[in-house]
Structure 1
Amino acid sequence: MPFAEHPLEETNPLTSGFRSFRRVQTPRAGRTLARWLGVLGVLVLAAGFLPWTQNIRSTGTLTTLRPQDRPQTVPSTIGGRIARWHVREGQKVKKGDTLVTITEIKEKYFDPQLLERTREQLAAKISSLEQNKGKTVALGDQQDALRSGLAVSLDKARNKVAQTRLKVNSDEADLRAAENDIAIATRQLARQEELYKQGLKSLTELEQRRLKFQESTAKRQGVENKLGASRQELTNSQLELSSLQAEYQDKLAKSESDRRSAVAYQFDSEGQIAKLRNELANLSIRAGYYHIQAPQDGYMVRALKEGIGEIVKEGEAIVSVMPISPELAAELYVQPMDIPLLSVGRKVRLQFDGWPALVFSGWPGTSFGTFGGRVAVIDNIDSQGQYRILVTPDPELEAWPAPLRVGSGVYGWALLDNVPIWYELWRQLNGFPPDFVGAPTAKSKDGKADTSADEY
């Protein structure tokens, strides 16, 4: 357009005569852009003083708070061969439902009548024990009879010894009388011979006196023999008394030995009976392990063994079961530098995989598609350089989506203190941790602080 028509010519008459000045004038669009940039800078500067909620970001997966709610594998308690499947994958099962039936593979348990035969062995051993107890009682009665017989025999032998001793005393008295008789007969014979020599006695009377002397001598000899026999009988009675004690002690010792052997056999039988009962109980319990049952209500997720006839080892997992209605928790991993800022009860916002969300981490109130939670568990030891925390649903906020599944991804950020945006930017640029804030204090029903947090 002609330069004479430019608006600047009217506003600045001093430069209207110079053509170069007309070419270096600032365009109107540039001034408009400068004004907008200035307004934008003022807005950015003002926004720097807006409040910003500091947070700790972390990622993890969904798990369960209670260990029994987590997916579990069902092992086979005993080794065996798969005989039949009773369920299919994805099927809902109840606690106690039979999942798989297995059969024996050990030759020790092949006998189908093994349980009944073990019961018969146990019954036979119990009967043998009862008979052995009767034998023990009989041997005890035998010992009592031997002790009673020993007492009677000892009394009898003692009486015989006393009786023989009296007989010896009587024979000794008879011997003394016989010795007196022979002494008298000797003196009378001497006087009779003297008188015969003097002619005062006849030969007949002398022979009679001699005969009397011979009779006295023979009587004394008989008494001596009788006394010797009595003394021998006394000695025999004393020996019999001594041997009687030893004889009965031998019988009692033999009976006691038999009784102790019977008692030892009884104890051994009781031990074998206990062993048989243990074996019978083990066999009865083992018979129940042929049917592998569901440990709790849930869904059969995956069969870890396939087909019919496959061998499973003792303790080897066969199927995987997911419990029904688990108590979900978000398992998040936090850097060690952020752990001192967390405590049990700290509020957390969560974003789940598969749920669309519009997230402003510093302005949780304006976020969309996130869900609230609270820190329930903080581990005391690290896991590969990070610490694990468990976050449960916040009962005061909206419930978590029902279709959530264990193992899905989750993104969370723990809410801390409110600071200006410029301070947060300055902190992020310098790599400083968020400001430390005091741990929220959970109150009990009576209004007092509750310090029994499950922090482990």
Structure 2
Amino acid sequence: MLDITLNKIKDSIPFSGAKSLVMTLPLKESSKRVRVLTSIILILFLMLFLPWTQNIRSKGYVTALKPEMRPQTIHSVIAGRIEKWYVQEGSFVAKGDTILQISEIKDEYFDSLLLPRTQRQVDVKTLSAQSYQEKVVQLQNQIGALERNRELKLQQAQNKLNMAELDVMSDSIYLEQAKVDFKVGQDRLKRAEQLYEEGLRSLLDLETRRLKFQEVQAKIIAAENKLLSSKNKRITALIDLDAIENEFIDKIAKARSEMYTAMSAQFDTEASVTKLENQYSNYEQRTGFRYILAPQNGYLARAVQVGIGETIKEGDAILNIVPADADLAVEMFVAPVDLPLISVGNRVRFIFDGWPAIVFSGWPQISNGTFGGVVVAIDQYAGPNNQYRVLVVEDPEEDAWPDLLRIGSGADGIALLNDVPVWYEIWRQLNGFPADYYTQEEKDAIAKDSKK
């Protein structure tokens, strides 16, 4: 039968000899536990009032700040066949160094004397254009001579016309005088006949008067004939004047037609010269494209076309080049909900792949192995992944980024936002509220005041 009682065994049997049993006894452990628990609670409570830096975590990769310094692909401008490589992958090339040589594969460029023969065509066409130009000048001189000759001929014909008109006027006056003389002679004859009938004049006087009257009649007829002849001369002068004008108009028009024909041929020849010069320039440029040159200083990363004798088309990728001495930056992507919290000038901490780090995102001051950056650009539109690209460069006030950092390396970005108490951050996270929005100017002002 068990001896179950309220009496303690330790009161009847001493435990001092049993060391293991002594260790199981609660020697005032409850008070010690209370003190420890109270201390932990107090420490946790005090930690609630520690400053916590709100942040946004985002993945990104290292790139170059300037677009022209980012990795690029060298393409072939012309179609051809690879003849010789002058470099190998991983080699450093300076701007203008020859990378490889290609040859033509199109039959219209096979001629080894293509450039001299094209230049010969240009020279011949140029001489032809000069010949037409000289012909135009000569025709212009001929037209000028015809115009001067026309002026002289017209003046001569005009003078003849003026002389004919003066003759007409003179003969008209002479005819009027003859008419007056005819009238006077007729009156005298009548008086002479009357006086003869009256017996006051002799027959001899009457016959004399009749003879003089016949002379007057002859003079008036001669005056009329002379006037008609003068009028005919005036008409002839008018006809000659019109004939001269028409003759020179025809000659000048013919000369101008030949001049315009020569000018048209000159312009056509000059157009052909321009076309040939353009063709020659294209041939010359194409000859330079047979050698693929390095566009800038850099390292050859990977050759796309490799085989000797391998043909390539226009615009085909040949090899990749990574520019040297590029200003590095980090492309990180943020969700649209976090975009209002990011602005140019914000501070960012990075953890680069290959560089170990101990990170306390809320206390960046005690983090180790992270590198600082500053936001310099934010895209104005979301990318295919529905996130906004943010470009971050090295912070000049922080430690320099590693020298061995290469373009394409991964980067884990921590965008630093507002400083808040720990209890506020816990309360915000539990309620799902967004981080506090702030401006970099406000944070800089707060930091300046704290330093004072």
Task: State whether TM-score is above 0.5.
Answer: yes
Cα deviation, residue 176, structure 1? 8.3
Q: For 2:89, give the aligned amino acid.
A: E
Question: Is residue 2:136 matched to residue 1:136?
Answer: yes
Aligned runs of 1:98-247 on 2, under 5 Å? 98-165=98-165, 231-247=231-247
Residues 388-434 of structure 1 deviation map (CA, whole Å, 9 limit, x = unaligned): 22222222222221111111211121233444444433433333323
Residues 360-404 of structure 1 deviation map (CA, whole Å, 9 limit, x = unaligned): 222323332222222222223223232222222222222221111
Q: For 1:121, give the aligned amino acid.
A: Q
Cα deviation, residue 224, structure 1? 6.9
The aligned residue for residue 379 of structure 1 is: 379
Q: Structure 1 residues 432-441 or 337-346, which shifts more?
A: 432-441
Conservation of the 8 A alpha-carbon contact between 1:49 and 1:422:
no
Q: Structure 1 residues 108-117 or 292-301, which shifts more?
A: 108-117
Whole-Å Cα distance in 2 between the matches of residues 424 and 209 of structure 1? 157
The aligned residue for residue 309 of structure 1 is: 309
- 3-state DSSP class of the match of 1:402? coil
Cα deviation, residue 131, structure 1? 2.2
Conservation of the 8 A alpha-carbon contact between 2:418 and 2:443:
no
Question: Is residue 2:53 matched to residue 1:53?
Answer: yes
Conservation of the 8 A alpha-carbon contact between 2:372 and 2:399:
yes
Aligned runs of 1:194-343 on 2, under 5 Å? 231-343=231-343
Whole-Å Cα distance in 2 between the matches of residues 365 and 7 of structure 1? 62
- When the two structures are superposed, what TM-score results if normalisation uses the length of structure 2? 0.77
Cα deviation, residue 94, structure 1? 0.6
Q: Structure 1 residues 410-419 or 241-250, which shifts more?
A: 410-419
Q: For 1:411, give the aligned amino acid.
A: D
Q: For 1:285, give the aligned amino acid.
A: Q
Q: Structure 1 residues 118-127 or 427-436, which shifts more?
A: 427-436
Q: For 2:402, give the aligned amino acid.
A: P
Cα deviation, residue 42, structure 1? 3.9
- 3-state DSSP class of the match of 1:49? helix
Seq. identity, %: 44
The aligned residue for residue 354 of structure 1 is: 354
Whole-Å Cα distance in 2 between the matches of residues 385 and 290 of structure 1? 43
Could you say what the CA RMSD is over the residues aligned between the two structures, in angstroms?
4.1
Relative distance call for 1:427 and 1:162 in structure 2 (3 A) is: closer
Conservation of the 8 A alpha-carbon contact between 2:75 and 2:318:
yes
Cα deviation, residue 137, structure 1? 2.0
Whole-Å Cα distance in 1 between the matches of residues 364 and 218 of structure 2? 148
Question: Is residue 2:400 matched to residue 1:399?
Answer: yes
Whole-Å Cα distance in 2 between the matches of residues 393 and 7 of structure 1? 77
- 3-state DSSP class of the match of 2:249? helix
Cα deviation, residue 255, structure 1? 1.9
Whole-Å Cα distance in 1 between the matches of residues 270 and 252 of structure 2? 26
Whole-Å Cα distance in 2 between the matches of residues 298 and 227 of structure 1? 107
Whole-Å Cα distance in 2 between the matches of residues 442 and 271 of structure 1? 69
Relative distance call for 1:276 and 1:46 in structure 2 (3 A) is: same
Cα deviation, residue 294, structure 1? 0.7
Relative distance call for 1:336 and 1:222 in structure 2 (3 A) is: closer
Relative distance call for 1:136 and 1:29 in structure 2 (3 A) is: farther
Runs of at least 5 residues in structure 1 that lack an aligned partner in the other structure: 17-25, 203-207, 448-456
Conservation of the 8 A alpha-carbon contact between 2:58 and 2:333:
yes
- 3-state DSSP class of the match of 1:90? coil
- 3-state DSSP class of the match of 1:414? strand
- 3-state DSSP class of the match of 2:318? strand
Cα deviation, residue 235, structure 1? 2.8
Relative distance call for 1:82 and 1:219 in structure 2 (3 A) is: same
Q: For 1:258, give the aligned amino acid.
A: E
Relative distance call for 1:53 and 1:124 in structure 2 (3 A) is: same
Relative distance call for 1:171 and 1:368 in structure 2 (3 A) is: closer
Whole-Å Cα distance in 1 between the matches of residues 96 and 414 of structure 2? 41
Cα deviation, residue 302, structure 1? 0.6
The aligned residue for residue 62 of structure 1 is: 62
Q: Structure 1 residues 222-231 or 423-432, which shifts more?
A: 222-231
The aligned residue for residue 440 of structure 2 is: 439
Conservation of the 8 A alpha-carbon contact between 1:342 and 1:439:
no
Q: For 1:388, give the aligned amino acid.
A: R
Relative distance call for 1:415 and 1:41 in structure 2 (3 A) is: farther
Q: For 1:369, give the aligned amino acid.
A: G
Q: Structure 1 residues 268-277 or 52-61, which shifts more?
A: 268-277
Cα deviation, residue 320, structure 1? 0.4
The aligned residue for residue 368 of structure 1 is: 368
Conservation of the 8 A alpha-carbon contact between 1:346 and 1:439:
yes
Q: For 2:46, give the aligned amino acid.
A: F
- 3-state DSSP class of the match of 1:403? coil
- 3-state DSSP class of the match of 2:299? strand
- When the two structures are superposed, what TM-score results if normalisation uses the length of structure 1? 0.76
Q: Structure 1 residues 278-287 or 319-328, which shifts more?
A: 278-287
Q: Structure 1 residues 274-283 or 326-335, which shifts more?
A: 274-283
Relative distance call for 1:68 and 1:32 in structure 2 (3 A) is: farther
Q: Name the count of aligned residue pairs.
A: 420
Whole-Å Cα distance in 2 between the matches of residues 276 and 106 of structure 1? 19
The aligned residue for residue 17 of structure 2 is: none
The aligned residue for residue 39 of structure 1 is: 36
